[in-house]
A and B are shown apart, each in its own frame.
Chain A
Amino acid sequence: MNTTLIARSNEGDKYLLFAKLDNAKILYNLAKSVNFKEHAVFCALDSGLKISCEDAKSTQGIAFVHTDLFQEYLIKEDCVCIKINLSVLIECLNIFGSIANSIPTALKICYQGYGHPLTLLLEDNGIITECNIKTMEADSLVNFEFDFDKIINKIIIKVDIPASSDYIESFDCKKTQVNRYKVNFIRNSLKALVSSTKVAIRITDSGVMGIQFLIPITELSKMAFVEFYFCPDEEIE
């Protein structure tokens, strides 16, 4: 009995990143909601796992999985960042599919370090799949300088609307703003919108819009976040 416990705690020792998730579907759904570009930056932070997708340096989608959602989560550095093919990651996470009423697919994520592949181990009813996803050097992502003190307008909307309540939970706008955003970029966030219960729309003084989706993880009765940032179109005059 003791040996297995020791073995378990040692298991992650040789990895820079080691995480266990009892239900791979959680990560699958979150990764899918930001899959508007083939490649994404996969970042393991102290607080959790961040998958960021960027398009044309003007829009960003970020899926955040808090460490709470993992059964085990170990990182050796403050920030482990790699670029991976997100579509491949999604196919790998979905390799067993979802058969209703079955035990969820268990997932183990391992990453040894620079130059090594990102290894996913999935287990479903005794069937094991090992996926080695090639890793690339992470691109630097645009910092939208989305600081709280710069936010002027903030609206929180309930997506899941009970009959008696209002659509808008909070409305806190300091001044009238008119910005143009590419509808194609906003469309990227629709997948996240479908599975969310609450949406916060915030706009800074420079016009950068951040939409935050609160996504319930019903299996664990916890929450995950997906964020999208959009730069406004420059007025050509």
Chain B
Amino acid sequence: MTIRLITTVTALLALVTGLASAASYPEAPIVFDKPVTGVIFSHKVHMDKGLSCEMCHNRLFEMQAKKAQGNADFVMESLYQGKYCGACHNGSLAFAANTRCATCHIGVKGAKRLSDGGTQEETHEH
């Protein structure tokens, strides 16, 4: 509960102060491949919503891309408990992690399309 409160406060602060405006971030979306193939995270989509780096880094995710997928607890159950994406994707800040599955899960097909050099998925994200 404390984590959720802190997150909420931080998110609101970030939105108010506009800390996100000048941040630089990886252009290409991150595509996790464990424990299942093809889970997309787009920095751009999240930055465009006015979030800042510090909101997730390094508390929820380390700077090194896809490091989290090495953790044994990088599973949906953890998200439901407020870890990782679940910190915001809880149904109040952002859509709950147990809904809209195929929004982040682009699947084997989506991952393949991205690795084949297409940037379509980025455009699909809007």
Q: Please say whether chains A and B are actual partners in one complex.
A: no
- Which residues of B come within 8 Å of A, CB atoms? none
Chain A residues within 8 Å of B, Cβ to Cβ: none
